[in-house]
Amino acid sequence: MDNNEEIKETEKISINKLNECIEENIINMSPSVDYNFLEESSKIMFQGINITNERQIVPIVLFNREKAISIVLKFFESLENKIWYNQVKNILLGQDKNIDINIFNSKDIDPLEKDENGFYRYSGYSSLECKPNSTKSLIKILLKEEFEDVYEHIEKDKITLEDIYIITHEISHTFDLGNNEKSRELSSLFVEVTPFCFENMLSEYLIRKNIVNERIINKIEQRTIADSIRDARTVWAKINLVKLKEREGRLNKENIKKILEENNISDALYVRSILSDILACNSNIDFQARYMVAELTAHQYKKMYKSNRREATERLKIHCEKMMNGNSSQDDVKLIGYPINEKEVLKVVNDIRDEKNR
């Protein structure tokens, strides 16, 4: 087989995988989600803010484990919400009856080890796992020390600044995730909103208390924005390929190229990057959309919080309670910043871009 034949065979395999992937996304689409709005929002977002394909490296800031846990606790205490603070304290001290936490590094991983509730104790990423129709949950925190090559030299008992954000993110998931099916269905698209809001409040706290230099905090925030924009790009591409597949039956090199060129996307490397992201991602459009929606909402929430911390925290508390009980609506999420139309999305995107360029 010569080089040209190898290239053609590789393209054929990739096209087959892409068709399978988009078919799975079609099966997993939710009737309660407005995909037309997501399509327009994602397009505004990824076309409005330029990012590179290289992930920004954040300077390493190290804490010993005790100090890191203390920072997380004091941050939640500063929010003056006893329910949140006590829940976080109980989780971190291993005293919560329903929510366990396992903080580990990659050398600790035993992929088959389970806890008393049947959860696998380790995984290759950080997450909150819940059992259907159960109050039991497990928070898994994979420390950054060996997540990328740049972290290989970090001592085992050290925790990075990024770990502190991850711990805060995963714990804050427990504030709005209910145990009933209605709660989980409603929270699908908005499930990352609460953690993103808490991350922004953590940033403000770290700067206000002079714990970390503002320049480093800005780098973390810029990387989160870039990741969310990449998710927006994937959402837009998936929705358009879903429509293309439903219309023409099968995706091929020609019809994919045509639909991308109609939207002024023709650079070969850029196209390859988009298609690679699709194949590497979860087979559910809503999964990437969560992070896009969360970034748009949390950016607005950050402005509320800086303007009036007490009022913003109270709004977030109400949002969490409604999500927990399965009574949340799009209008409720709007109270903490969710843009509910294309005009509002454009305004938020312009604001993010202007802040990024300052």
Whether 140 is covered by a domain: the verdict is yes
Torsion angle (degrees, nearest 10) of CA 254, 258, 261, 267: -10
Choose the final residue of a domain: 154, 175, 208. Answer: 208
Residue 212 in contact with residue 61, Cβ under 8 Å? Answer: yes
| 175 DSSP 8-state letter | G
Residues 73 and 185 in one domain: yes
Mark whether 66 and 51 lie in a shared domain. no
Average pLDDT per run of 10 along the chain, which is 358 residues long?
A: 45 80 94 93 92 73 94 97 96 94 83 87 88 84 64 66 96 82 62 96 97 94 92 95 95 90 85 88 88 96 96 95 81 90 95 85
- Tally of CA atoms within 13 A in the half-sphere of 31 that contains its CB: 0
Q: CA–CA separation, 336 vs 315, rounded Å?
A: 6
* pLDDT in the model for residue 296: 96
pTM of this structure: 0.90
Q: Would you state the pLDDT for residue 180?
A: 55
Domain carrying residue 260: 10-55+223-357
* Domain contains 46: yes
> Is 143 found in the same domain as 85?
yes
Structural contact between residues 337 and 301, judged by C-beta atoms closer than 8 angstroms = yes
Instruction: Assign 103 to helix, strand or coil.
Output: strand
The residue among 90, 92, 79 whose CA lies nearest residue 164 is 92
Q: Is residue 215 part of a domain?
A: no
The pLDDT score that the predictor gives to residue 78 is 97
* Domain end among 162, 183, 208: 208
Residues 169 and 228 in one domain: no
Query: 295 with 228: CB under 8 angstroms?
Result: yes
Residue 213, domain member (yes or no): no
Are residues 227 and 178 located together in one domain of the fold?
A: no
- My answer on whether 41 and 71 are in the same domain is no
Looking at residue 92, what is its pLDDT?
96
Residues 115 and 230 in one domain: no
* Residue where one domain finishes, among candidates 208, 235, 269: 208
Residues 66 and 203 placed together within one structural domain of the fold? yes
- The count of structural domains within the chain is 2
Alpha-carbon gap, residue 140 to 150, rounded angstroms = 22
Here the contacts of 303-312 (C-beta below 8 Å, separation 24 or greater) are: 303/337, 304/336, 304/337, 305/197, 305/200, 305/201, 305/204, 306/204, 310/80, 312/336
Please tell me the predicted confidence (pLDDT) of residue 6. Answer: 42
Query: In the prediction, which pLDDT does 330 show?
Result: 79
User: Does 107 lie in the same domain as 87?
Assistant: yes
Domain co-membership, 87 together with 162: yes
Same domain membership, residue 189 and residue 260:
no
Residue 266 covered by a domain: yes
Q: Are residues 228 and 320 in the same domain?
A: yes
Judge whether 4 lies within some domain: no
Alpha-helix runs per DSSP H in the chain: 3-27, 35-48, 65-78, 82-92, 161-172, 181-187, 193-208, 214-248, 253-261, 268-280, 285-307, 309-325, 330-334, 342-357
